[in-house]
Each structure stands twice: as structure tokens, then as C-alpha cells.
Chain A
């Protein structure tokens, strides 16, 4: 069985290659024909999805054998003195899961875009970018080594940049794209440093080889140095995920990234690219595990981001921004799950979150499409009746993210909280639980305000076309049943786990608590926004400062902007001043000195031949005197003798 599958797994490189081919085709051949471009792109990603499903089934059939021995195919990419890098594909349950999720969401989004992007002038360009993104993301998932991962990591960053700035004529989109790229670049700086130091120490970047080298040498201080060294490495590597997965304090770009088309937000900024950081930490988990300090740090940052972003989401009015902060909060969940050691729970949440968050973003897109680019939830209302499919699927998404059983979010979220509690992190457990409550609250708020309540007369919503609703339905199915992967004997954590596999029984008590938290949140929102038992305005009025701080996202953007405009640009201006007036000034000063001395010395050229003759004569006299009477003293100064020209 495994042998046959092995042959299949070797073809995994086709999965990213197909979208890349489609990118090239669109860019160079079909760019003038809208229909062809989208067809090529969708065909490529659907084929890739088919392959990913085949590989996924193959992985499930191969069972434990593949978990122990991932199938790696690689070829040399760069080979010079002191630096040897391979590039290839690795097939193991983790990459298989990611392949499936990415290919599924990407194909759903591309089909959805047929409806959403209807009539956009940049149609072919959009599908070219989509294909490029699919290529980069799938290539990243299959990476065998850190550098390959970094390469694709940057490429997905590029695609994110291009797609956020897709409507490049909008100033806000252009600024958001720039912000996203630069903020993630700050994280990439650390990641790159980490890669360099790791290669320096272990002479390899291969995940398996690195893991082996680290585990065999962990006791050997001479090779690894101290645990401190490992901790530093882990910190540096973690800077990358902090940028890419929007962890505090590098989270600022993600809400702004909502300037891109909504399907893009669904694909890149909810389901796939932003979880790349979680994926990277999972891939490098052997490094983090070796340093308890680093794990603590990861858990702390994750938990803080989770509650921090959730608190902001409560006070936002833009439907996409609420979802964006919710994404940040859920990413924080995944990250702190890794920090507390709930490895498979984190990745499980990654998968379920991809389903329901993509669903909700696409649903939001459907609403925005129907309301002609209105994004404020207070401009909506009563949409469920007019848009039944969008409304129902969105409701499934809300239930899933709120952790209501049996929807997908319940299983993964519960595993994370149980992991935090059982691994001895009570504070983080409490934070997570409170975040779950907040999540349920703001999600239900969004749902109740936008989909229920009175209709707004100025809106004339209508259900979206089939190309948009079918992806919604498919994703809703996955959001509903995706969590059941936790149930069978060979469940999710059997395939994807770190270290020895220990089957864990469901802790129904803890699960009950988290369900209660979620239901409380929904009920609270119901009371405020449907029953209107307590006026939302009155709460905001009671705590004006809190509301303003939350609404302005803790003023972090303002602080960063101040730093950039005053410190960085100011430094630039000061250095430019120094460059022109000091560095260049010295150069110009030397030039001026030359000119000045020439100006003075040229006075000696009076044009009076008599003066010249007089000077000449007396100079001859002086030289004659010197040679006649000063022979002994001055022969050493004889320039000819110095040159050695006189024998």
C-alpha cells in the first residue's frame, strides 16, 4: 500500500506547478481574453485540488507509516562553497492537510470571484495574481527546508501586496499594501537572521536534518552552545510568524489589508497566508520545544493577541474589519495553543478556522456585493430574509466560531482550551475562555445587526449569483462537519502530532465550560442587539474612554505612524542634511580650497615680464648661493639624489 502511495506522493510538486503554469499562461498568452484567463486559472486550481485530495486520501490510507517516514523528494538548487541548498517537496500529514485546505479555499475563492469580480477591468490580472498566490502558498506548504519555505513565504507576501493593492488607484489600498509588506518585512528580518544563524550552527536548513541535529546535540554544549542560544534562535524564527500571522505588535497591517477585494481577504488574510506563521512554528516546533522560555513567550504573545484583538473587534463597525480582528484573535489562539504544547489542537484549529473564516469572509463579500460596497454593519439589517443562502451559511459560520457543538470550531477550540488547562497554564486558559466569550459576543453582534433586525429601506439587496453561493454552501458544509475529524480512532491528532502520539479522551467537563462561555456571548449579544434590553449606545456612553480606545485600536497605528514620520523620516532628513552639507561639504570644501588657493596664487602672474625676470634672476642667485656655499648641508636635499637619478 505504502509503496504505491509513494509513487503518488512523488508527484506532489505538480500541485504548485499547475497554478504557476496558469500564471504564466495568463500573463503571457490569455491576458486579453477575460473568459480564458479565469478558465485557465480555475482549471489549474481545481486540478491541484483533485491532486491534493488524492494525496490526502493516500495519506489517510498509508496511516502511521507515513507519519513516521514522510516522503521527501528534493533536488539541488544552489551549491557553492559553504552553502548548499536543496529544493523539493515533502509529503506528510501536516503538509497534506495544508495542501487540502489551501487548494480547497483557493478554488472556492476563485469560483466565487467569477461572480464577485464581474465587470472589473483588472480581471485577467486578478486571476494571474490568484494563480501566483496559489503557487506560492502550495509551494510553501511543501517546503523541505527553511530557505525554501522563506522563499515562498516572501512570495506569498508579494502576492498579498499585489492583491491588497489590486485596486491600485485607491490611495487607501495602495497605502495598505505598502504597510502590509513593510510590517511583515520587519518580521522577516528576524526570520532571516534565524535562518542564517541556524545554518551557521548546523550546516543544514532541512527540517528533518535540523531536527535530528538539534536533538542529538541538545546536551552537547559545545555544538549547541547553551539553551540560551536555542532560545535566541527560536525568538528570531518567531519574529517571522509575528509579522505574517499578525501577532502583537506586528498585527497592524492585517485590518488595513481589508482594502483588497473581499475574496482576497477570505483567501489570503483569513484562511491561508496568515496561518503560514502558525505552520512555520509547527514545522520548527522541535526548536521551540527545546526552549521553555521561547514557548512561554509564544504562548504569552498568542494569548495577548487573542484577547487584545477580540476586544478591538467589539467596537468596530466595518464588517470586514470585525472579521479581520476576529482573524487576528483566532490566530492568537493558534499561536498560544502551540505555546502551551497543544500542537495538534492548534493545527486542527488552523484547519477549521480556514473553513469558517473563509466562509464568513465570502459571506461578507456577498453582502457587500449586494449592497454596492457598503461595509458598515449599521447600514445593513434584515438581510437574512433577502439573502437566505448567504444568511444561513453565515449563521453556520458564527456558530462554528462561537464554539457551539457540533460545528467545527467547537472541537478545535475546546481542544486548545483543554490543552492549555491540562498542560498547566491556568492564566492562559482563563484568557482563552474569556476570548471565546468575546468572540461569540462580537460575532453574534455582527450577525444580529447585519442579518436580523429591521430592513433598511435604502437597501435593495438580492441573493448573489450561483457562482458565489455554491462556494458558500460547500464551505458551510466543511464548517459544520469539519470538526468531526476529531472523533474517529485515527483522528486528526493521530496523523498530526508532535513527538509520541498519546490518544486523549475528550474532557467533557472543560468542553461544557467553553460551550457555556460561547452561549453566554451569543445570549448577551442577543439581549443587547435584538431584544435591545440594554442599549448599546448607553454602554458606550457609560465608558467613553474605553470605547474610544477600543474604537481607535489602542492608538497603535498612530504610534507607529508617529515613529515612521518623525523618527525614521526625520533621521533620513537629518542624514541627508549631513550628506549634503558635511560629507559632500568636505568634498566641495576641498574643491573650494583648490579654487581659493589658485585665486590667490594666480596674482603672482602679473603679466609684467620685468617682474618675472626679476624673480627668475634672484631665484638663480639664491640657488647658486646654495650650491656654492651650502654643499655639505644640502646635498641630502638634492631632489635628483633623492630620486636616485644621480649616481
Chain B
């Protein structure tokens, strides 16, 4: 078994990212617990991060332009930072809502309907 032939290309990474994204998406659509939804959202963000990093590794010819080398990685870092902030705000909201409603079930949170 030649492990050298078993090259891991860009599409493999994208496949992993897409799977992760779909899992997250499924979670966001289907979960009823608001904390689970927030976690699924994190999954989706991380799926995007994988894409960023993968594109950064494969798409640019690193010898040509040094400036592009870390673009994707930086974007992924930004996403992580924003995700952290988002989860902070999101959890704060969840706690407030829970205090008011004694519930974390999103089905009951339809106060904005028509």
C-alpha cells in the first residue's frame, strides 16, 4: 500500500467542509434546543474555516506572492474571533430568554410572527 499515492487534495478538504457545513445546517434547521442550535452554528462556521484554510493551502502559488500566503488563515482567525463574540452574545440572550420563559425550546419563541 503506497501511502504516497494516497494524496489528500483540495476536494477532500472541501468535502469534509461541506459535510461539516451540512451537519451544522441540519442542526440549525432541526434542533429544538436553542443551545444545540448555537452549537450547530459553530459547526457551520468551522466548516467555513476549513474551506478558508484549504483554499489558502492549495490555491495560491506561494513562491510568487508572499502577501497572499496567509490570507485564508487570517480570514479563518477572524471567523473564530467573530464566532467567539457571537457565542458570547448568543449565550447571554439564551440565558435571558431562559430566565423569562423557563425554556430553551425555539418552538415557543415565535413572538415575532405576523
Kindly state whether residue A602 has any CB partner on chain B within 8 Å. Answer: yes
Total residues of chain A contacting the partner, CB 8 A: 11
Q: A605 to B28, Cβ gap below 8 A?
A: no
- Chain A facing B: main interface SS: helix
A617 interface hit (Cβ, 8 Å): yes
Q: How far apart sit A144 and B42, CA to CA, in the bound complex (Å)?
A: 100
Q: Are A609 and B114 in contact (CB under 8 A)?
A: no
A591 to B14, CA, bound (A): 53
What is the chain A residue whose CB lies nearest that of B31?
A: A610
Interface string of A600-637 (1 = CB under 8 A from B): 00110111111001100100000000000000000000
Given contacts A613-B28, A613-B29, is CB(A603)–CB(B110) below 8 Å?
no
Interface residues of B in 55-74 (CB under 8 A from A): none
B106 closest partner in A (C-beta): A610
* Known A-B contacts A608-B106, A609-B106; A614 and B29 likewise in contact (beta carbons under 8 Å): yes
**CB atoms of B29 and A610 under 8 A apart:** yes
**Residues in A neighbouring B28, C-beta threshold 8 A:** 610, 613
| Nearest opposing residue in chain B for A612, CB measure | B112
Q: In whole angstroms, how far apart are the Cα atoms of A607 and B106 in the complex? A: 10
CA distance A607 to B107 in the complex (A): 9
Bitwise interface map of B from 70 to 114 toward A, beta carbon under 8 Å scored 1, else 0: 000000000000000000000000000000000000110111111
State which residues 14-63 of B face A: CB under 8 Å: 25, 28-30, 37
Q: How far is the CB of B89 from chain A (nearest CB, A)?
A: 15
- Tell which of A605, A609, A614 has the most Cβ of chain B within 10 Å: A609
Contacts of B109 in A (CB 8 A): 607, 609
Chain B 1-17 per-residue mask, 1 if CB under 8 angstroms from chain A, else 0: 00000000000000000
A605 touching B106, Cβ below 8 Å: no
Q: In the bound complex, do residue A608 and residue B107 qualify as a contact, i.e. CB atoms below 8 Å apart?
A: yes
Report A-chain residues with C-beta under 8 Å of the C-beta of B111: 607
Contact A607 B110 (CB under 8 A): yes
A602: chain B residues at CB < 8 Å are 114
User: Once the chains are docked, how many angstroms separate the CA of A451 from the CA of B30?
Assistant: 112
**Residues B110 and A608 in contact, CB atoms below 8 Å apart:** yes
Contacting pair A607 B29 (CB below 8 A)? no
The CA of A603 and the CA of B113, in the complex, are separated in Å by: 8
Q: Mark A577-609, 1 if CB is under 8 A from B, else 0.
A: 000000000000000000000000011011111
Find the B residue at minimum CB distance from A606. Answer: B113
Min CB distance, B33 to chain A, in Å? 12
Cα distance A364–B62 when bound, in Å?
A: 128
Smallest Cβ distance from A611 to chain B, in angstroms?
A: 9
How far is B28's CA from A614's CA once the two chains are assembled, in angstroms?
A: 9
Chain A nearest CB, measured from B56 CB (Å): 24
Q: How far is the CA of A562 from the CA of B109 in the complex (A)?
A: 70
Give B68 Cβ to nearest chain A Cβ, in Å. Answer: 27
The docked-state distance in angstroms from the alpha carbon of A642 to that of B59 is 36
Cα A606 to Cα B113 in complex, Å, equals 5
Q: Compute how far the CA of A602 lies from the CA of B25 in the bound complex, rounded to whole angstroms.
A: 26
A603: B residues at CB distance < 8 A: 114
Report Cα–Cα, A610/B109, bound state, in Å.
11
Give chain B residues whose Cβ lies under 8 Å from the Cβ of A608: 106-107, 110, 113
Determine which of B25, B29, B30, B114 lies in contact with A605 in the assembled complex, contact meaning CB atoms within 8 Å: B114
- Bound together, the chains give a CA A193 to CA B109 distance in angstroms of 75
How far apart sit A605 and B106, CA to CA, in the bound complex (Å)? 15
User: Are A607 and B25 within 8 A (Cβ)?
Assistant: no
Q: Enumerate chain B residues within 8 angstroms of A609, measured Cβ to Cβ.
A: 106, 109
Question: With the chains together, A577 CA to B106 CA distance in Å?
Answer: 53
Q: Give the interface centre of B30, B111, B114 by most chain A CB atoms within 10 Å.
A: B114
| Least Cβ–Cβ distance between A177 and chain B, in angstroms | 61
Residues of chain A lying within 8 A (CB to CB) of residue B110: 606-608
Write the nearest CB–CB distance from B92 to chain A, whole angstroms. 17
C-alpha spacing A613/B113, complex, angstroms: 14
Q: How far is the CA of A208 from the CA of B43 in the complex (A)?
A: 104
**Chain B residue contacts of A617, Cβ below 8 A:** 25, 29
A604 to chain B, nearest CB (A): 9
Bound complex: CA A613 to CA B107 (Å): 14
Query: A432: shortest Cβ distance to chain B, in Å?
Result: 87
Cα distance, A619 to B103, chains bound together (Å): 31
- For the complex, what is the distance from the CA of A106 to the CA of B57, rounded to whole Å? 118
A223 to B113, CA, bound (A): 78
- The smallest beta-carbon distance between A49 and chain B, in angstroms, is 85
Which residues from chain A contact B107 at a C-beta distance below 8 Å? 608
9 A-B pairs within 8 Å (CB atoms) are namely A605-B114, A606-B113, A607-B109, A608-B113, A610-B29, A610-B106, A613-B28, A613-B29, A617-B29
Known: A603-B114, A605-B113, A610-B29. 13 other contacts (CB 8 A): A602-B114, A605-B112, A605-B114, A606-B113, A607-B110, A607-B111, A607-B112, A608-B110, A609-B106, A609-B109, A610-B37, A613-B28, A617-B25
Smallest CB-CB A-B distances: 8 pairs: A607-B113, A607-B110, A602-B114, A607-B112, A605-B114, A614-B29, A606-B113, A610-B29
